[in-house]
Amino acid sequence: MKRHALIATLISLRGNPRGCVYTEPLWGIPYNLYAPYISVYMIALGLSDQQIGLIVSITGSVQIVMMLLSGVVTDKLGRRRTTLIFDILAWSVPALISAVAQNFWYFLAAGLFNTIWRITFNSWSCLLVEDAEPDQLVDIYTWIYISNQLVGFAAPLAGVLIGAFSLVPTMRGLYFFAAFMFALKAFVTYWLTTETKQGMVRMEETRRQSVLSVLGEYKGVFQALLRTPQTLYTAAILLVIQITGMINGSFWAIIVTQKLHVPNQYLAIFPFVKSSIMLIFFFAAIPLINKLHFKLPLTVGFLGFVASQVLLVTAPSQSYFFLILSVFLEACSFATVGPLLDKLTVLTIDARERARILAILYMGIILLSSPFGWIAGTLSAINKGFPFVLSIILYAAGAGLAYRIGTLSQRSSAPVELAPAEKGR
């Protein structure tokens, strides 16, 4: 019996992709156990809403600096070593601080350490894809998404433990468990991987340069980036996803409970439904989508997002049919757009400057998206559906951008599907 394409890819993975994909649950399981309860844990230890908001604001600003430094650190230390060191600093250390937290200052310290994830995100992304086979990229990213969806099913276990032992003791235990698992994941990933070819090149090129000297070269990298239309279109699509993700993450529960009048106790059903749909879609549709040029599925995916938001905004009160249909379309669209956009990000970036270009792109995305939290909040105060009208406009723009970059790729003599290693020569 012929194996499913995704299963065949998972079994056939070798080298760095295998080391990164296989170890992802070691991070996902502990994170999903404590993540839903972070804010209520803070409140239980005496923090106010204003203090929680202050931590978010401070750490958000520091993330911009970490994103700027991420390219330099990744190039100087190498993808593999940076991932080991900064995974521990970004995840294990703040988990330990949170496990013994007593007041605002503990959580602020944990939050500041956690901002380092912007550095390890850059290095890990390079480690995952730089030596990967280009035709496996969509499947590789699909498995990352599948892993994150599967481990989400472990989250209800935390609720059971909290029911048995109460919130604060359970959260302290989960944080200690997470600190150990995050460190284990970092060391196992290091053991299963090797430094990438481009990583070794950049380590040698920057070995005698100071951090300030390498930072000074960002100007030239940025100027080259501005002359690369496909990368700019990809960056614009990433910005759309960042802003709409922020809107949905902050205001979905509000519109569902306050406008559609769905009881709070039913909210947990919808993420479960969404994860289930995405998992089915990954296995049923991604192998077929992977055979197509990205232009059509990426454009259709964004149009699916538009339809899901229209249904959400226009749904009558307590219309579970409309809400489930909206969740269904959103899940299918995300399962389509996510892996394709990740592949597009890899293949539209000059492999020789991947680390620094990623740093510039994500720093720009953070800066440009930051006002939209306030904008969406202001819109929500006027009408609970208005933030999602903004999402509809942005998703429609995403569809246009996807169609445009797909057209450029089809017309180009050097298409987007060109292997990263070949582009870097």
Q: What is the pLDDT of residues 168-207, one digit of tens each?
A: 999 999 999 999 999 999 999 999 999 999 999 999 989 8
Average pLDDT, the chain: 86
Share of the chain above pLDDT 90, in %: 38
What's the pLDDT at 401? 93
Domain 217-425 in CATH 1.20.1250.20: yes
In 3D space, the residue among 383, 237, 372 whose CA is nearest the CA of residue 305 turns out to be 237
What is the pLDDT, as a whole number, of residue 236? 93
Higher pLDDT, 139 or 101: 101
Q: What's the pLDDT at 74?
A: 93
Instruction: Using alpha carbons, select from 178, 182, 155 the residue that is nearest to residue 88.
Output: 182
Q: How many CB atoms lie within 10 A of CB 284?
A: 12
313 closest CA partner among 393, 370, 240, 242 = 393
Say what the pLDDT of residue 265 is: 58
CB of 296 within 8 A of CB of 310? no
- Which residues of the chain does CATH 1.20.1250.20 include? 1-210, 217-425
Residues 326-350 have a mean pLDDT of 87
pLDDT of amino acid 425: 28
More confident position, 100 or 320: 100
Sign of CA dihedral 36, 40, 42, 48: positive
Q: What is the DSSP letter of 267?
A: T
- 1-210 classified as CATH 1.20.1250.20: yes
CB contact at 8 A, 9 and 136: yes
Question: pLDDT class for 117, splitting at 50, 70, 90?
Answer: very high
Count CA atoms within 13 Å of residue 141 on its CB side. Answer: 23
Q: Which residues contact 419 (CB under 8 A, 6 or more apart)?
A: 134, 347
Residues 210-231: what's their mean pLDDT? 82
Cα gap 209→203, rounded to integer Å: 10
Determine what percent of the chain falls in helix, strand and coil, rounding each to the nearest 5: 85, 0, 15
pTM value is 0.78
